[in-house]
């Protein structure tokens, strides 16, 4: 089982959680915590073996602790696989990488569907065999209807997490609010620099020596959501915008994969406009 929690910080939280688990016959396998002194909030992730104890009684005991400390908490069975929907547009390097990692067993998830505003013929080199594919074309005029279809599909498939794997459409405020805390985007830039379109071309024009990529939760503010993962790579004056795009694709793949894995393993906790990411 995995227990994640956040609450106002005060003495005794770790002791109370550990004692509650011990008294119900659970064995703690891994525990990490963080005290944010700026906000006064406490964050914790505990992996434990529940043993042969009563699961309902354990849940009730944790609920009492949660109420006492005003916790936002979640308890999940480690065997429970998240249901994930992947959205993509014309570029499929992140889509293909996620599917490859999923087939290799690196990402413990069930793919509910791959959705694109382009037909599946756009991805001749991506293995979509056995994966439901939905083509939902979109224009500025049909955006409300397309997003209504997308939201219906998310609900029908009981999707837990939506991944924008280079899905080059800006989600509406209404949809981002519905997906708050469960939609990840990969932005091809080291945010907060070079937001919006063609960030590699922006970076080249500024003569930067490092390029990067950022995975973040999606919010109503474009490219402003809480950052989950980032990485960079050094470049030189010899690199053209085309070189930056090529090198950037590699960064985007690994950054998105790390972010998705962190969320799937309950290592990412929201902390206002930021995140707490427990290493794994």
Number of H helices, E strands in the chain: 7, 13
Q: Reduce the DSSP state of residue 7 to 3 states and report it.
A: strand
Full DSSP string of 16-70:
HHHHHHHHTT-EEEEEEEEEETTTTEEEEEEEEE-TTS-HHHHHHHHHHHHHHTT
Catalytic residue among 92, 97, 223, 266: 223
- Cα separation, 91 vs 193, in Å, equals 22
- Cα separation, 147 vs 177, in Å, equals 13
The residue with tokens 């109420």 is: 67
Q: Which residues, in sequence order, are CB contacts of 29 under 8 Å at separation 6+?
A: 47, 48, 49
The residue with tokens 């470049």 is: 235
54 classed as catalytic: no
On whether the CB atoms of residues 59 and 20 are closer than 8 A, the answer is: no
Q: What Cα–Cα distance (Å) separates residue 186 from each residue in 8, 107, 140, 230, 254?
A: 31, 17, 22, 10, 10
The burial class, CB within 10 Å (0-12 / 13-18 / 19+), for 62 is: buried
Q: What Cα–Cα distance (Å) separates residue 157 from each residue in 109, 128, 260?
A: 14, 18, 19
Catalytic residues: 223
């Amino acid at each position: 089982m995995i227990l994640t929690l956040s609450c106002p910080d005060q003495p005794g939280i770790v002791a109370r959680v550990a004692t509650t688990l011990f008294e119900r016959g659970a064995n703690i396998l891994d525990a990490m915590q963080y005290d944010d002194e700026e906000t006064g909030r406490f964050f914790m992730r505990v992996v434990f073996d529940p043993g042969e104890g009563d699961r309902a009684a354990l849940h009730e005991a944790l609920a009492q602790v949660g109420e006492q400390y005003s916790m936002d908490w979640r308890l999940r069975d480690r065997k429970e696989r998240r249901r994930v929907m992947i959205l993509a547009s014309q570029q499929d390097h992140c889509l293909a990488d996620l599917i490859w990692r999923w087939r290799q067993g690196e990402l413990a998830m069930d793919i509910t569907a791959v959705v694109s505003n382009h037909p599946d013929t756009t991805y001749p080199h991506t293995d979509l065999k056995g994966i439901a594919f939905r083509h939902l074309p979109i224009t500025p005029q049909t955006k409300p209807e397309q997003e209504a279809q997308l939201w219906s599909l998310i609900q029908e498939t009981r999707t837990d997490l939506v991944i924008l794997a280079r899905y080059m459409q800006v989600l509406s405020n209404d949809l981002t609010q519905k997906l708050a805390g469960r939609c990840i985007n990969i932005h091809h830039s080291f945010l907060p620099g070079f937001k919006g379109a063609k960030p590699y071309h922006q970076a080249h024009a500024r003569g930067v020596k490092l390029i990067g990529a950022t995975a973040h939760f999606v919010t109503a503010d474009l490219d402003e959501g809480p950052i989950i993962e980032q990485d960079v790579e050094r470049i030189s004056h010899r690199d053209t915008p085309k070189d930056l795009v090529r090198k950037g694709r590699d960064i985007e793949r690994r950054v998105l994969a790390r972010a998705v894995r962190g969320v799937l393993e309950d290592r990412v906790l929201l902390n206002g406009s930021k995140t707490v990411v427990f290493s794994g």
